[in-house]
Amino acid sequence: MKTIFAFAAGLLFSMSASSQVLKPVKWSYAAKKTSATEATVLIKATMGDGWHIYSQTIPEGGPLKTTFAFAPAKSFSLKGKVAEPKPLTKFEKVFGTNVNYFEKEVIFQQKIKLTGAETIVKGTVEFMICSDKQCLPPQTIDFSIPVS
């Protein structure tokens, strides 16, 4: 019985170790008030060595661009679009075009107007992460960011 338990524990450990390899991006979130009625939501992607995600601006026929969707709420409204820093650009033979992307880390910013006392910004980010050797299937991640 101990042998079966040890085998199962080892199998679970190896599966969790290999699943970490397949998740080369970590997302983190924050919000900072810029005034009594405005705030900026910060959405940060940190990529492992050799991995990149794509910008929100990708030409037609290119890879999946990073997109954000915000759930409507009475406590805030969006001000403009999600801002991003200047991306890197390179020609990718697979897509036959120049693509904009980010390596190591990127912080996306969304300005909001506060219209309620307690604000939680909820939504999703859809993205695709690639290395020079492979691309993982597109993923959609939910987020929930309290603004205080």
**Tokens 């909001």 found at:** 112
Separation of CA 13 from chain center: 26
SS3 25: strand
Closest CA to 87 of 67, 112, 111, 104: 104
Confidence check: pLDDT of 110 > 50: yes
pLDDT class for 17, splitting at 50, 70, 90? very low
The predicted-structure confidence for 43-100, as pLDDT tens digits, reads as follows 999 999 999 999 999 988 889 999 999 999 999 999 999 999 999 999 988 889 999 9
Q: What is the pLDDT of residue 8?
A: 38
The fraction of the chain above a pLDDT of 70, given in percent, is: 86
Backbone angles phi, psi at 103, to 5 degrees: -115, 160
- Mean pLDDT over the full length of the chain: 87
Which residue's structure tokens are 């603004």?
Answer: 147
Confidence at residue 106, expressed as pLDDT on a 0 to 100 scale? 98
Beta bridge partners of 68: 125
- pLDDT of amino acid 7: 38
Predicted pLDDT of residue 131:
92
Closest of 57, 42, 36 to residue 99, by C-alpha: 57
Domains recognised in the chain with CATH numbers? 25-147 (2.60.40.1250)
* Strands 129-130 and 105-114, sheet pairing: unpaired
> Whole-angstrom Cα distance, residue 39 to residue 45?
20
